[in-house]
Structure 1
């Protein structure tokens, strides 16, 4: 059953906090999933959230920390000492612990690391901190099960039992050589059905998908999605096994990329959330609004230069909004499909066949729309030549919008710029200007004004 926060539950929790009834509060929350408790924290004020955090066991609070909204987690950590934070991180997997430490100031970071009780755990966290968060190295965790190719099955099983104590979930068993280089993976079925004296080198599977520490996180997500992997090993520059990326980390990457692309498509230049300050929201939104304003001013000059035609052919101006909206929609649709293809790997670069297909779609769509407009204009205004000019213009503008929407994302992608920029205001405003120029240019040729 899905968890839902009710007003009654929040009221009950707030009353228990006010009464300082720690025992009943702990009983109420201990049976809840840590993700649900994190959701409750987001609804409470920071003093109430911190109060609850202090009364719960560190095993529970450690699991809550990664689930919290970043601003809530930051405020809670500000109220904890370095030793208290270290106690939480000792309970976490290395990847989650490294992510949390990375959010701290440099001085607090050093204090927390020095307070970690498990020295090996601390070393692993420090190692992870040197990788960029947008790479496989920044995503991976150190917890995994690995065996040496020179061991026999019996030794392998004994070592796996020891290693598995520190691993929350065993997705795969990796095989390495004496230098720690990744050689392959081991099937649990083969391990269970093979003689205990059999060397691992005779039974392990040599084919294994892996990524390098500097592989971009989006590429890691694409590989795991393509091959339907729950986890993927990570190797360093020498091919040594240094960690693994699990599916829960990739889900976070996919969500973050989707959020970023959605905001870019809306003309928001940096990652923002509803809880951000007014200044941060304005800073993220204003640039594209200003760019759009400048481009639309250019469009207004085009309209002004064709002002004389409005008196003679007044329906020309009536259909300008329709022209702009249609061109914008066609352009955004075309660019959205290209950006989606680039994101999921189905489209890697310019494809002549796909480009022809997109132009054909635009031509057929434009023809249907233009025919409808021609009939509508002829019935409503009985100006057949003007209706013909408008209809032909619509087809040309739609074709141009489709070309722009297809080619611009591919150009940006080739030049290492996020193509999601091309799915929003850039396409719509650019199509506005060029669409209006084409519209009046074709109308001028046909009507001779």
Structure 2
């Protein structure tokens, strides 16, 4: 029966939220705890995110710290911040005691500096307190900022029998034992230990005789995205973290890497859409404005630039005023091609699958643009001349301009992300409005220059 409950997918409904609100309002603690005890902590966090602040704080204080510590980790960041403001330093410390060091450090890092010191001083477990303090010293976007101190390590000098006894003790503090790491007497990482090899080995054997000397690891200062790429490439559930002297410091587990990948994807998606900083739909109007306005201004200036080009040629077009009808076609095509090219390049840079020199990449994109341009130009020529009745020479002009613009847009969309990446700038800034705007301006300029050369106006 229990197993059947676990297999039922949780669904947050208005009725469930209303039921929890009613139980909180009537202070029916026993029924409320009974209702929530069968839910996963992530599901309870989802419920609390729908409650008002006072009700959320009431539930957190009602349930035991072992449960609420996990709930806090799963809550929406803004809601968690509000809840923590309504808990005393001692109450927060009690929650922290139940968490792994990496999660504990993440929560404490969200608090104001004065509150951080107060909470840390209320953590009774001295070793836990020391390890959390160590983690807080690392940048959150590095391996050190992701790692947890909880792990299982053994010394190469131990016997199999002694190793098993010590592993049992260490495993009590580790939520999941993904790997067993082997260190020397100076705590330097030298390999890993297979659980199968440990079990089948004779009790008197030394760990030095059975451990595996090859082990993937990352340095404590490595970028979080680089760690994610390594773990993704080698399908690792966990990876050890070492310092410059190869000393074992901690481990990073796959759940933390999933968060890194998700956050990076969200950030790149927002940057590609022209949002300059991480925001959410529920953020304040001021914060949303600050995130969106810079790129909107770039788009505005780009539009003014394109308008000035049109204005410059407008007085010279004479009988070829019909050229203005095809401006949206030129702009849309240039923008779309540029975004497509840059998206492929940014994706390749992100997953480290982009090989070859810039020149070869540009040549390939130019040839691809030429092929696509010829196809689109032929279709546009037929439609504009035979369906729209556009003069033949104008249709030819539009077709040639389309080919030129598509090749140009493909090369800009390819070159800019690679250039930014080599300069240490996130190539995601090149996508979206930036590429679209630059291609709009250059596309219009190329269009009218070609038209002027062919039509001689």
Query: Are 1:342 and 1:348, in contact at CA under 8 Å, matched by a contact in 2?
Result: no
Name 1:421's counterpart in structure 2: 429
Equivalent residue in structure 2 for 1:39, among 29, 37, 46: 46
Deviation of 1:223 (Å): 0.2
Aligned to 2:120: 113
Match of 1:401 in 2: 409
- Note the C-alpha offset of 1:353: 3.9
Q: What TM-score, normalized to structure 2?
A: 0.97
Alpha-carbon distance in 2 for matches of 1:404, 1:109: 48
| Within-5 A mapping of 1:196-211 | 196-211=203-218
Confirm or deny that 1:374 pairs with 2:416.
Answer: no
The equivalent of 1:386 in structure 2 is: 394
Whether the 8 Å contact between 1:349 and 1:414 is mirrored in structure 2 is no
Return the alpha-carbon distance in structure 2 between the equivalents of residues 97 and 22 of structure 1: 28
Structure-2 separation of matches of 1:2 and 1:438: 57
Q: How does 1:35-434 map to 2 (within 5 A)?
A: 35-347=42-354, 350-379=357-386, 380-434=388-442
Is the 1:363–1:398 Cα contact (8 Å) retained in structure 2?
Answer: yes
Are 1:445 and 2:445 counterparts?
Answer: no
RMSD: 1.1
How many angstroms apart in 2 are the aligned matches of 1:29 and 1:348?
Answer: 52
Q: Structure 1: how far apart are the matches of 2:192 and 2:266? A: 35
- What is the CA deviation profile of residues 278-318 of structure 1, one whole-angstrom value per residue up to 9, with x for unaligned ones? 10010110011112111211111100011135541132111
Any conservation in 2 of the 1:350–1:410 contact (CA below 8 Å)? no
Shift of 1:351: 4.3
In structure 1, C-alpha distance between the alignment counterparts of 2:106 and 2:46, rounded to whole Å: 19
CA deviation after TM superposition for structure 1 residue 424, in Å: 0.9
Q: Distance in 1 between matches of 2:435 and 2:283?
A: 27
- Cα distance in 1, alignment partners of residues 356 and 270 from structure 2: 24
- CA deviation string 1:91-126 (max 9, x = no partner): 000000000001111111111111111111111100
Instruction: Could you tell me which runs of 5 or more consecutive residues in structure 1 were left unpaired when the two chains were aligned.
Output: none
Alignment partners' CA distance in 1, 2:9 and 2:423 = 44
Give distance in 2, aligned partners of 1:47 and 1:126: 30
Query: SS state of the match for residue 315, structure 2?
Result: helix
Measured after TM superposition, the shift of residue 41 of structure 1 is: 1.2
Give the structure 1 partner of residue 5 of structure 2: none
SS of the counterpart of 1:313?
helix
Does the C-alpha gap of structure 1 residues 196 and 352 become closer, same or farther in structure 2, counting only changes over 3 Å?
Answer: farther
Distance 1:77 1:53 in 2: 10
Gaps of 5+ in 2: 1-7
Moved more, 212-221 or 147-156: 147-156
- Contact persistence 1:310–1:317 (CA under 8 A): no
Task: Report which stretch shifted further, 246-255 or 286-295.
Answer: 286-295
* Secondary structure of the structure 1 residue equivalent to 2:249: strand
SS of residue paired to 1:319: helix
Contact 1:182 1:239 in 2 (8 A): yes
Q: Secondary structure at the match of 1:242?
A: strand
* Secondary structure of the corresponding residue to residue 49 of structure 2: helix
Cα 1:348–1:29 shift into 2, 3 Å: farther
Structure 2 contact 93–119 (Cα < 8 Å) conserved: yes
For the residue of structure 2 that corresponds to 1:84, the secondary structure is helix
Describe the SS at the equivalent of 1:147: strand
Secondary structure of 2:216's aligned partner: coil
Distance 2:390 2:438 in 1: 32
Give the stretch that moved more between structures: 218-227 or 102-111. Answer: 102-111
